[in-house]
């Protein structure tokens, strides 16, 4: 049975203008205590866990913290044979030395936050990294023998199709095993939300998504979820847990978990999380348990985002007719059409 662990590292050098995650730029002094608390949480629950098939270390910026201490956290996880272990990386931080520490610690997948290969677009997003460092980060990953994902964002205000093509072509040339491309979204409370003049244009994003589909497909990357393409057999196993309602443990502040049909989340701030662990208390801040009906709807809404779609018996002919052009029956499944992938949220709501 697949089971995952998500570890949240909340520290950042600078907060991107579109980011609404639980991240802080002024709490670096907490890093050592924080990682010790994460390790302690895992060790205290390890005996209750099945063999862990995937670990995802996200943030924030995991590459800002001491890699040896981070690997001590990962080493506490009771891994299954051939488990997938991923760390999100900032291109500016991934040196050959750091990558080798990760490799020695069992990391076998890196997700490099590139977002764009065009300096003007990066500036619009509020990103600071130098595109030239992407090549150096890739060299570091390859030197350590770690497969890598390139993480992209499209739809920044003013980003042209030519600029987006430049990013896609440069990404393909780097030879990643996996590519994630997310449409820029406006999250409440962010600098992006406060400036409507910078909000993305839906029509432009639709054209950019279609371009990604065409260029990545032509380069041998297979689409398997709305925002994800991979070489055959290189799909992200941890993210697949989310799309299939799998179970996973939440480690760190603001992390979310799912076990036995119950969803829960930890304290939002690193201080509260660390204090709870150090005092022997649960770091859990809240939870919810969905009814059978709610779980069925959620399962449909998540599964429709993937290449396998949903079981044909779960969608009536009436709904398929209403969504003509957006979904289609394929053997015993109902799947999104390319046009439907552009309107996946609307389709998912209708399936509910």
195 and 76 together in one domain: yes
Looking at residue 181, its pLDDT comes to: 98
Of the candidates 181, 185, 187, the one whose C-alpha atom is nearest the C-alpha of residue 226 is: 181
Chain centre distance of CA 257 = 14
Q: Contact 118/166 with Cβ under 8 angstroms?
A: yes
185 and 309 together in one domain: no
Residue 283 — φ and ψ, nearest 5°? Answer: -85, 0
Enumerate residue ranges in the chain where pLDDT < 50. none
pTM over 0.85: yes
151 and 231 together in one domain: yes
Cis peptide before 60 (omega within 30 of 0): yes
Asked whether residue 107 is domain-assigned, the answer is yes
Asked whether residue 75 is domain-assigned, the answer is yes
192 and 125 together in one domain: yes
Looking at residue 17, its pLDDT comes to: 87
Asked whether residue 153 is domain-assigned, the answer is yes
Looking at residue 99, its pLDDT comes to: 98
Q: Contact 283/289 with Cβ under 8 angstroms?
A: no
160 and 234 together in one domain: yes
Looking at residue 140, its pLDDT comes to: 98
40 and 171 together in one domain: yes
Single residue among 200, 220, 242 that ends a domain in this structure: 242
Looking at residue 252, its pLDDT comes to: 98
For 279, other C-beta atoms within 10 Å of its C-beta total: 7
Q: Contact 87/111 with Cβ under 8 angstroms?
A: yes
Total domain count for the chain?
Answer: 2
53 and 173 together in one domain: yes
pLDDT tens digits along 180-230: 999 999 999 999 889 999 999 999 999 999 999 999 999 999 999 999 999
Kindly state the greatest CA–CA separation across the chain: 58
How far CA 86 is from CA of 81, 83, 250, in Å, comes to: 15, 10, 15
Single residue among 202, 223, 242 that ends a domain in this structure: 242
300 and 183 together in one domain: no
Asked whether residue 84 is domain-assigned, the answer is yes
339 and 203 together in one domain: no
Looking at residue 24, its pLDDT comes to: 93
188 and 320 together in one domain: no
116 and 190 together in one domain: yes
Asked whether residue 288 is domain-assigned, the answer is no
Residue 195 — φ and ψ, nearest 5°? Answer: -130, 85
302 and 175 together in one domain: no
Residue numbers of the domain that contains 7:
3-242
Single residue among 223, 242, 261 that ends a domain in this structure: 242
């Amino acid at each position: 049975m697949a089971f995952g662990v998500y570890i949240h590292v909340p520290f950042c050098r600078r907060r991107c203008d579109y980011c609404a995650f639980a991240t802080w730029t002024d709490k670096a002094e907490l890093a050592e205590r924080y990682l010790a608390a994460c390790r302690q949480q895992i060790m205290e629950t390890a005996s209750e866990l099945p063999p862990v098939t995937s670990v995802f270390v996200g943030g924030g910026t995991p590459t800002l913290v001491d890699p040896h201490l981070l690997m001590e956290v990962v080493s506490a996880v009771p891994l299954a044979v051939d488990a997938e272990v991923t760390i999100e990386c900032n291109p500016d931080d991934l040196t050959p030395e750091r990558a080798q520490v990760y490799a020695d610690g069992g990391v076998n997948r890196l997700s490099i936050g590139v977002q764009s290969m065009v300096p003007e677009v990066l500036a619009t997003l509020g990103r600071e990294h130098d595109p030239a460092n992407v090549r150096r980060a890739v060299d570091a990953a390859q030197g350590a023998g770690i497969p890598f994902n390139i993480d992209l964002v499209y739809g920044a205000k003013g980003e042209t199709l030519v600029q987006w093509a430049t990013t896609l072509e440069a990404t393909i040339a780097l030879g990643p095993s996996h590519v994630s491309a997310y449409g820029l979204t406006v999250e409440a409370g962010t600098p992006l939300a406060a400036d409507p003049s910078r909000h993305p244009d839906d029509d432009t994003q639709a054209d950019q998504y279609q371009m990604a589909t065409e260029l990545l497909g032509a380069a041998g990357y297979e689409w398997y979820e709305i925002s994800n393409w991979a070489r055959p057999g290189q799909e992200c196993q941890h993210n697949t847990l989310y799309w299939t309602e799998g179970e996973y443990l939440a480690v760190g502040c603001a992390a979310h978990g799912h076990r036995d049909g119950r969803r829960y989340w930890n304290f939002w701030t690193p201080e509260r999380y660390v204090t709870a662990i150090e005092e022997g208390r649960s770091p859990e801040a809240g939870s919810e348990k969905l009814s059978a009906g709610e779980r069925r709807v959620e399962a449909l809404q998540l599964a429709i985002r993937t290449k396998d779609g949903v079981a044909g018996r779960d969608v009536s002919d009436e709904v398929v007719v209403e969504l003509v052009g957006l979904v289609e029956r394929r053997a015993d499944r109902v799947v999104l059409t390319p046009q439907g992938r552009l309107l996946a949220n609307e389709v998912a709501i209708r399936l509910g």
